[in-house]
Amino acid sequence: MHRESKKSGIFAHRTDWELSLNPIANTLNRIRDTGVEVIDLTISNPTQVNFYYPQDILRALNKKENLVYLPVAKGILPAREAVCSYYAQKGIDVSVENIFLTCSTSEAYAFLFRLLAAPGDSILFPRPSYPLFDFLARINDVNLSFYTLKYSDGWFLSQEKFKECLIGNRAVVIVNPNNPTGSFLTREEIDFVSVECIRNDIPIISDEVFADYIFNYKSDERVFSTFIGNKDVLTFTLGGLSKALGLPQMKVSWIIVDGPHDYVKEAIARLEVIADTFLSVNIASQNALFDWFKISSYIQNQILDRVRNNYAILAHACQETERCECFMIEGGWYAVIKLKVRDNFDEEEFVIDLLEDQNVFVHPGYFFDFDENGYMVISLLPQGEHMKEGISRLMSQINKIKL
């Protein structure tokens, strides 16, 4: 007999989310089921868009050491040393004792939420940002609160509103560079966040998975700065192979712990217990890390070249019409456009019409919690011809909008 999980009382409330597909997903599946090719301008998986991955990646997995299991809570020492070397090439000094390996950034967040928040506590997140945060927070029994990023010739942090939002939270999450806005905090903004977190005794979680993909705009005011090495407030910096090497399937990420000595010492001791409970990072990937980082620039350059070229295609197309604006990005591999539409414009209806009329798929802004209407989020990973054709069809649909 079929039983509704929400009525039975068998399942935990934390999983009481809507399990049916939304209208956009239903439309996408229906069109694909007919055999029609959809140009996917949302794709986020670098392994599916024809980048070249050297065979050295697979050879690095063929090691006899992989037949020996070493249950080390932080991750084995050679793997953590490889992470240190990766940052040393960037001129960033990281202590091997302050690194924890996890199997994903999502797991890193879960560890930190368990470390810093009790059930029902709130953690402060940026908005717009990852839709995943809502699921991560609910699974780990914490609540979300938000500070908003605003756009005016670039994204910025409203300092006075941030101060107000900070109160009552157990930690603040910074996504640097942010997804999908492609923006990062200036050195001045990082210093401001640190001062306010010191004042309120609130730890910082800095997600820097996109830090290898910076557009390098020549501006003294817009230079990327990391939270690594932040000695004044307890800080956890996240990175991982999914972006650094375009290898999400190899399942290695990391947490770097910084801050005042006593806080760092206790955080490391507590994190060791959490990590030791799961021991989730597979030994083969840990043993391969040093070899994989040797080819990181080769993979990163491919991705960065395509992202820059695709952004230029999108920006030029937007300049050719008065119907939309392409926002400036500084890093990452997504872009945001703002349609010049009425307040009651239906983003979901537009995305569905785009799928049905043009066979092109983009994300509506509401997926990312934009606080206004009319945003679209576009991946910059597709191959050039797919990108050009997809953007051409997108602009054709935008030009049909009744203003």
CA distance 85 to 102: 18
pLDDT score at 158:
87
Share of the chain above pLDDT 90, in %: 83
Q: Identify the pLDDT of residue 326.
A: 94
Could you give the residue ranges of the DSSP H alpha helices within 176-282? 187-200, 241-244, 261-278
| Chain mean pLDDT for the chain | 92
Cβ neighbours of 99 (radius 10 Å): 24
- pLDDT class of 1 with cuts at 50, 70, 90: very low
Q: Which two tokens stand for residue 91?
A: 């001129």
Q: Which residues pair with 376 in a beta bridge?
A: 337, 364
pLDDT in tens, 233-249: 999 999 999 999 999 99
Convert the pLDDT of each residue in 180-197 to its tens digit.
999 999 888 999 999 999
Q: Give tens-digit pLDDT for 218-232.
A: 555 677 889 999 999
User: Does the pLDDT at position 178 exceed 60?
Assistant: yes
Other beta carbons within 10 angstroms of residue 315's beta carbon come to: 17
Please give the pLDDT value at position 218: 53
In angstroms, how far is the first alpha carbon of the chain from the final one?
A: 51
pLDDT score, position 153: 82
The more confident residue out of 5 and 27 is 27
Residue 152: predicted pLDDT: 86
Amino acid at 401: I
Cβ partners under 8 Å of residue 2, min gap 6: none
Give the residue from 260, 216, 259, 269 showing the smallest Cα distance to 237: 259
SS3 content of the chain, % helix, strand, coil (to 5): 45, 15, 40
Q: Please indicate whether residue 101 or residue 70 has the higher confidence score (pLDDT).
A: 101
Mean pLDDT of 6-15: 77
Average pLDDT over residues 347-368: 96
Q: Where are the domains of the chain?
A: 9-52+298-398, 56-295
pTM as predicted: 0.94
As a whole number of angstroms, the distance between CA 225 and CA 268 comes to 24
128 CA to centre of own chain: 12
* Helix or strand holding residue 100 (H, E): strand 99-102
Burial group, residue 246, by CB count within 10 angstroms (0-12, 13-18, 19+): buried
**For range 257-283, the mean pLDDT:** 96
Average pLDDT over residues 69-96: 95
Are β-strands 334-339 and 375-379 bridged in parallel, bridged antiparallel, or unpaired?
A: antiparallel
Helix (H/G/I), strand (E/B), else coil: 214: strand
Q: Output 384 or 378, whichever has higher pLDDT.
A: 378
Per CATH, which fold does 56-295 belong to? Answer: Aspartate Aminotransferase; domain 2 (3.40.640)
Residue 343 CA neighbour count, 13 Å, CB half: 0
Contact 111, 255 (CB under 8 A): yes
Q: Which pLDDT does position 216 carry in this prediction?
A: 64
Residues across the chain = 403
Cβ neighbours around 372 below 10 Å, total: 10
CB neighbour burial string for 7-43, b if at least 16 within 10 angstroms, e if fewer:
eeeeeeeeeeeeeeeeebeebbeebeeeeeeebbbbe
CA-wise closest residue to 149 among 346, 375, 369, 332: 369
Cα(171)–Cα(142) distance, integer angstroms: 11
For residue 339, how many C-alpha atoms fall within 13 Å in the half-sphere facing its CB? 27
**Tokens coding 110:** 């879960």
Instruction: Band the pLDDT of 108: cuts 50, 70, 90.
Output: very high
Which tokens go with 180? 């999908």
pLDDT in tens, 288-347: 999 999 999 999 999 999 999 999 999 999 999 889 999 999 999 999 999 998 888 999
Query: For residue range 44-79, what is the model confidence (pLDDT) as tens digits?
Result: 999 999 999 999 999 999 999 999 998 999 999 999
Answer whether CATH 3.90.1150.10 is correct for domain 9-52+298-398: yes
Residue 387, pLDDT > 70, answer yes
- In this prediction, residue 5 carries a pLDDT of 45
What's the confidence (pLDDT) of residue 341? 87
